[in-house]
Amino acid sequence: MMTTERLDQIRVGGDVPRHVAVIMDGNGRWARQRGLPRHLGHREGLKSVRETIEGAIEAGVEILTLFAFSTENWNRPVQEVSALMGILQLYARKERAELKRQGVEVHVLGQLDRIDAQTREAVDMFVDGTSGGTELRLNLMISYGGREELVRSARLLSERVAQGDLDPADIDEGMLSDTLFTAGLPDPDLLIRTSGEYRISNFMLWQMAYTELYISSVLWPDFGREHLFEAVLDYQRRERRFGRVEAP
Ligand code: IPE
Ligand code: IPE
Ligand code: MG
């Protein structure tokens, strides 16, 4: 099926997921298959980021959340970590103007104090330079881990309890949500993981309670908008029940 046909199908297919999250996986394998160093796989993955952003806008997705670097990824060899930070800087500098033009508002979520000063600066300029975009909100998850995020929430709430501002009995789901990096955003409707891995890898543990999962066998550097559209079409065929007998 052609990409435009898929898009036409999405238009008649019903609700488009408001919030799509993606675990961008398989860059290393893509490079290995070609006898290339891993960092060239990461580099090639930028094309897929571009494609996915454009496809999300075309399909009418409001929020796109991309998992770019996990807390556990800090345990990779230093050369790979610095290559990834370099690619992130390059991306932030090169794409800022284009994303602004497209109306994409970039947010960077994660434990950013672990990032080196140069990358941090590029990221801050990226966020400042795209603020106000109304076509798509893009969350780049960097140095992000779902468990670490929840530990941080526990800390934030207990500080308020310790200060006497909060009664533990008043802590509810909404209050906890408000302490997450994603405060104020709806939970992801659809999670796409590429490279055929069937796991969450510490991504958005709280937020994904009722997210629809879609595993694509495509390696991230080969992922294009047609694959995104395929995932959205699959999502549109599902019945979300949220624990009830039928869809609300
Ligand atoms: C995803 O690709 C990118 C990051 C995790 C930063 P990988 O680097 O995990 O690629 P594989 O899984 O080794 O193929
Ligand atoms: C998940 O991929 C993290 C990102 C895509 C940023 P990994 O490649 O790090 O996950 P595992 O090690 O396969 O679980
Ligand atoms: Mg991987």
Q: What's the pLDDT score for residue 1?
A: 77
**CA–CA distance, 81 with 104 (Å, rounded to integer):** 26
Find out whether the beta carbon of 28 lies less than 6 Å from any atom of ligand 1.
Answer: yes
- Residues 128 and 106: their CA atoms lie apart, in Å, by 8
Q: How far apart are CA 191 and CA 214, in angstroms?
A: 6
Residue with tokens 């543990």, as numbered in its chain: 205
- Note the pLDDT of residue 129: 98
- Closest residue by Cα to residue 51 from 228, 188, 196: 228
pTM of whole model > 0.85? yes
Q: Which ligand is nearest to the CA of 218?
A: 1
CB-ligand 2 contact for 68 (6 Å cutoff) = yes
User: Is 53's C-beta closer than 6 angstroms to any atom of ligand 1?
Assistant: no
For ligand 3, an ion, list residues with CB under 5 A.
25
pLDDT at 246: 83
Contacts of 36 (CB under 8 A, 6+ apart): none
Give pLDDT, residue 2. Answer: 84
pLDDT in tens, 198-226: 999 999 999 999 999 999 999 999 999 99
SS3 45: helix
Task: Look at residue 49 in the predicted model and tell me its pLDDT.
Answer: 98
Alpha helices in the chain (DSSP H): 3-12, 27-33, 38-59, 78-102, 117-130, 146-162, 173-177, 225-236
CATH of domain 18-236: 3.40.1180.10
Taking 70 as the pLDDT cut, the residues of the chain under it are: none
Q: In angstroms, what is the C-alpha Rg of the chain?
A: 19
Residue 238 DSSP one-character state: -
Percent of the chain with pLDDT over 90: 98
- Cβ of 84 less than 6 Å from ligand 1: yes
- What is the CB neighbour count within 10 angstroms for residue 39? 18
In degrees, rounded to 5, the angle at the alpha carbon of residue 224 between the alpha carbons of residues 221 and 230 is: 130
Distance of alpha carbon 248 from alpha carbon 7, whole angstroms:
26
Three-state DSSP state, 61: coil
Starting at the edge strand found earlier in the chain, the sheet holding 136-144 runs: 104-109, 136-144, 63-70, 19-23, 190-193, 212-215
Q: Which tokens in the block code for residue 187? A: 């939970």
From the CA of 81, the nearest ligand is 1
Domain boundaries of the chain, sorted by first residue: 18-236
- State the Cα–Cα distance between residues 49 and 225, nearest whole angstrom: 10
Whole-number Å distance, alpha carbon 1 to ligand 2 midpoint, is 30
Q: How does DSSP assign 218-229, residue by residue?
A: S-GGG--HHHHH
